[in-house]
Amino acid sequence: MPREPAPAPIESAVHFDPAALRHDLFDSTTALFNVLHTVHPWLADIRGQLRGAVDAGDTASIATICHKLRGGLAQLRASAAVDLVRQLEAACKADLNATLASDNSELLELEAELEALSAELAQFLALR
């Protein structure tokens, strides 16, 4: 039976909780990195979808994308990003006919958090 690789130094993560995620994965570091290798490109893709929906002024699509994003971020244990996307999703669902400005403060705060999360995931993945 192959040995489990040594755990990555997870105490330095700020934007997601790799220790909790690894625990959810039966304390498997291999499974943790498999998930992160899947999540990182998904995050880039869904961020592009979000930006496209904002640029198109499609509030209903923004709400749908936020819902998907919230689920993925919750699995990742990215609590700050989950809180931000929850706020944006609620604002969109409150008025699907409203247009979300590209300089909306909630959107900008979410984008900054997602950028920081993406960078942290890349750093974490570089350990492998």
The pLDDT, as a whole number, for residue 11 is: 61
Whole-model pTM: value is: 0.89
- What's the CATH code of the domain at 42? 1.20.120
pLDDT in tens, 33-64: 999 999 999 999 999 999 999 999 999 999 99
Nearest 5°: the CA angle 109, 64, 46 is 60
**What is the C-alpha end-to-end distance of the chain, expressed in Å?**
20
pLDDT in tens, 77-123: 999 999 999 999 999 999 999 999 999 999 999 999 999 999 999 99
For residue 78, count other CB atoms closer than 10 A to its CB: 28
For residue 102, count other CB atoms closer than 10 A to its CB: 12
Residue span of the structural domain in which 36 resides: 12-125
**Sequential DSSP letters for 8-67:** P-GGG-SSS-HHHHHHHTTT-HHHHHHHHHHHHHHHHHHHHHHHHHHHHT-HHHHHHHHH
Kindly state whether residue 26 falls inside one of the protein's structural domains. Answer: yes
Number of domains making up the chain: 1
Kindly state whether residue 7 falls inside one of the protein's structural domains. Answer: no
3 has pLDDT over 90? no
